[in-house]
């Protein structure tokens, strides 16, 4: 089988940030997948499942209620490695355009108070695994990354060229 494109990004050189993971054309529509990278792989601890789960509920609810974007949100969910989330939106969208939405989502999550939406046995498959305090901490750390972001936090590391043998 072929290696899928997201495994071709060199995760050992990846910083925290906001990246376009891929754009797919489905019929007449383009769909953009964003890589919301909250933890720097192999440099920082990954998130705890309770934090990831709480953030999933809080952020998905926020995104699907955002007046500007709610009709374009296709999916928001965690990466299995627990270093971040994927956000999938309808349209050919770049990071500059999505940035304000992601910023206000994590601002909201960092300040969240009250009942986590959908956190009941009826609404969720394992609602006991939620850690709001950790979630707020992780959201705040990522928010700080976003507001201080530089070019390298918006562009995947460029693949290194294979070294060529010198011939004499
Ligand atoms: Zn859940």
pLDDT digits over 13-37, tens only? Answer: 999 999 999 999 999 999 999 999 9
Tens of pLDDT, residues 52-111: 999 999 999 999 999 999 999 999 999 999 999 999 999 999 999 999 999 999 999 999
Q: Is residue 1 part of a domain?
A: no
Q: Is residue 7 part of a domain?
A: no
Tokens 């989330």 sit on residue:
85
Q: Is residue 45 part of a domain?
A: yes
Tokens of 154: 């918006």
State how many domains the chain has.
1
Tens of pLDDT, residues 109-139: 999 999 999 999 999 999 999 999 999 999 9
Identify the domain containing residue 25 by its residue range.
14-150
Cα→Cα distances 161→113, 148, 164, Å:
48, 29, 9
DSSP 46: P
**CATH label of the domain that carries residue 29:** 3.30.1360.80
Are 93 and 83 in contact, with CB atoms under 8 Å apart? no
Q: Is residue 157 part of a domain?
A: no
Q: Is residue 98 part of a domain?
A: yes
| CA of 86 relative to ligand 1 center, distance in Å | 16
| CA of 142 relative to ligand 1 center, distance in Å | 21
| CA of 125 relative to ligand 1 center, distance in Å | 6
| CA of 48 relative to ligand 1 center, distance in Å | 14
| CA of 161 relative to ligand 1 center, distance in Å | 42
Q: Is residue 162 part of a domain?
A: no
- Please report the sign of the dihedral spanned by the C-alpha atoms of residue 73, residue 75, residue 77, residue 80: negative
| CA of 127 relative to ligand 1 center, distance in Å | 6
Residue 167 has pLDDT above 80, yes or no: no
| CA of 6 relative to ligand 1 center, distance in Å | 25
Q: Is residue 164 part of a domain?
A: no
| CA of 57 relative to ligand 1 center, distance in Å | 6
Residues 6+ apart with CB under 8 A from 138: 38, 39, 47, 51, 55
| CA of 148 relative to ligand 1 center, distance in Å | 31
Q: Is residue 126 part of a domain?
A: yes
| CA of 118 relative to ligand 1 center, distance in Å | 7
| CA of 53 relative to ligand 1 center, distance in Å | 6
Task: Give the whole-angstrom CA distance, residue 10 versus residue 115.
Answer: 38
Q: How many CB atoms lie within 10 A of CB 136?
A: 19
| CA of 56 relative to ligand 1 center, distance in Å | 7
Q: What is the pTM of this model?
A: 0.92
Are 18 and 44 in contact, with CB atoms under 8 Å apart? no
Q: How many CB atoms lie within 10 A of CB 74?
A: 12
């Amino acid at each position: 089988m072929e290696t899928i494109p997201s495994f071709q990004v060199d995760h050992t050189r990846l910083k925290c940030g906001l990246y376009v993971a891929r754009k797919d054309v489905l019929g007449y529509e383009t769909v953009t997948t964003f890589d919301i990278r909250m933890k720097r792989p192999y440099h920082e601890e990954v998130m705890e499942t309770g934090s990831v789960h709480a953030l999933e509920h809080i952020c998905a609810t926020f995104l699907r209620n955002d007046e500007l974007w709610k009709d374009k949100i296709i999916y928001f969910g965690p990466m299995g490695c627990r270093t971040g989330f994927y956000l999938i939106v309808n349209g050919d969208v770049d990071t500059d355009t999505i940035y304000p939405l992601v910023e206000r989502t994590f601002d909201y999550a960092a300040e969240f108070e009250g009942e986590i939406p959908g956190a009941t046995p009826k609404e969720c498959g394992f609602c006991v695994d939620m850690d709001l305090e950790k979630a707020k901490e992780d959201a705040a750390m990522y928010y700080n990354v976003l507001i201080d972001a530089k070019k390298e936090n918006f562009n995947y590391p460029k693949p290194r060229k294979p070294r060529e043998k010198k011939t004499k």
